[in-house]
Structure 1
Amino acid sequence: MEGAPEEFGSAYRLLGGVVVPRPIAWVGSYDAEGRANLAPYSFFNVVSPDPPVVYFAPGGTGEHRKDSANNAIESETFTVHVVTRDFAEAMNATSATLAPGEDEFEHAHLERVDATRVDAPRIADVPVVLECELYDTQEIGRQTLVFGEVVHAHVDDDLLTDGKPDVRKLDAVGRLAGSYYSTTEDRFRLERPD
């Protein structure tokens, strides 16, 4: 089949179904009242190694922007957790639609600690966490891209070989399409909660 993106259901379905696997940014942030927020986004990647910049695109602009984007823009800081297979179910739980102010860390039974260099929360046991300062934002269509400069990183010693990250030791989870995910070894399925 050939055609315009909408002929495949929608541009989102086409791109989300063929640009796979996508890494997942599990973003931690505080709102203006100091309430923690934690949410996963699979429109995420590295932008530059110098300066070290990553981005996530949580969707929505203006008054429809997601909490993670609003918090990162207001506080100018956020954390990005690399999702591993051990944390896949908890990550999925944090994608649930919760009442305003309800804490995703508590909802998913995750231990929350403060980041080291930025004013943002992080999960205590996740093996890779990037602490970011807001670098820039950009609106494209109905998406707000949030760029963060990595100013501090937490990498579990078990993931290192000769002091450098070893991809063979990181069981990172990627997003496929619909309810499908993958690791560096296999595919699996998780249903998103309501």
Structure 2
Amino acid sequence: MQSYSSDELTIKEQNKILIGAIGPRPIALISSQSDEEVVNVAPFSYFNIISYRPAIVSVSVQRINGQMKDTARNIISNQEAVVHIVDEDNVALANQTSRHLPAEDSELNYANFTTVKSSVVKPPGLEEAKVRFETSLYNHTEIYNGDEVTADVLMLRIETFHLAKEIYDKDTGYIDVRKLAAVGRLAGQDYAKIGEFFSIERP
């Protein structure tokens, strides 16, 4: 076993270790809206469930040179967003939204998503996602590295669940994970599909 203190590794080396060791990571494709009503769409793999009572998911949005990304700024300003699950059918489109654009330019100009009006929030949903959550901002925490803010952690409370009929069985309450076919993020340019399943009985 090789051991390193955080002081012995560069930030880039630490990031490579984290994204290589912690995976596959679920991917949230988030639509938000600016004060000028520009729709921003961007994918994030620092994403997961925080709570189910109430239903809250979290996403960590890394800053660039200390500057807040459009998604974080929009959500903090307007207190709402739509979170979509990236799957095998929409991952190529989702990848197109990862480009760096000025705040006044929408990723929808480059990724051919179909927008749908949301029920309770202003940002639109994306029809190509089998799962989407309309959310409100529950909490915002800044992450510091010394005196510098390096990330914005957003906790988003789910207000409305939208689930494709082919993946959700209301009688059992379960999502068919094979039909959803969510993909996970690995390191570099790599993604992972749902593979072989196995079960272990809890003690």
Task: Write the distance in 2 (CA, Å) between the matches of 1:100 and 1:76.
Answer: 18
Measured against aligned partners, the alpha-carbon deviations of 1:40-81 in whole angstroms (never above 9, x if no partner) come to 010000000001000111112896111000000111000110
**CA distance in 2: counterparts of 1:73 and 1:100, whole angstroms:** 15
The alpha carbon displacement at 1:98 in A equals: 2.1
1:72 is matched with 75
Q: Percent identity?
A: 32
Partner of 1:19: 22
Structure 2 residue 188 is matched with structure 1 residue 178: yes
Does the 8 Å CA contact 2:90/2:128 hold for their aligned counterparts?
Answer: no
1:160 aligns with 2:175: no
2:41 maps to amino acid: L
Check if 1:119 corresponds to 2:129: no
- With normalisation by structure 2, the TM-score equals 0.85
1:179 corresponds to which letter in structure 2? Answer: Q
What is the CA distance between 1:4 and its match in structure 2? 2.6
Task: Please give the root-mean-square deviation of Cα atoms over the aligned residues, in Å.
Answer: 1.9
- 1:30 Cα shift? 0.4
1:131 to 129, 134, 139: 134
Instruction: Tell me the residue number matched to 1:28.
Output: 31
1:151 aligns with 2:154: no
Cα separation, partners in 2 of 1:169 and 1:81, compared to 1, 3 Å: same
Q: Which sections of structure 1, spanning at least 5 residues, go unmatched?
A: 187-194
The Cα offsets for residues 74-117 of structure 1, whole Å up to 9 and x where unpaired, read as 11000110001011111111001123322112211111222111
Paired residues, number: 186
Contact 1:61–1:144 (CA<8 Å) still a contact in 2?
no
DSSP-derived class of the 2:61 partner: coil
Task: Measure the CA separation in 1 of the matches of 2:97 and 2:23.
Answer: 21
2:86 to 76, 83, 86: 83
- Kindly state the Cα deviation for residue 120 of structure 1 after the two structures are TM-superposed: 1.3
Q: Find the aligned partners of 2:66 and 2:118 in 1 and give their Cα distance.
A: 28
Does residue 42 of structure 1 match 2:45? yes
Structure 1 segments (4+ residues) deviating >6 Å: none
Deviations 1:3-47 (A, max 9, x none): 134548522111111000100110100000111000001000000
Q: Is the 8 A contact 1:61 1:139 kept in 2?
A: no
Distance in 2 (CA, whole Å) between partners of 1:14 and 1:68 is 25
C-alpha distance in 2 between matches for 1:148 and 1:130: 10
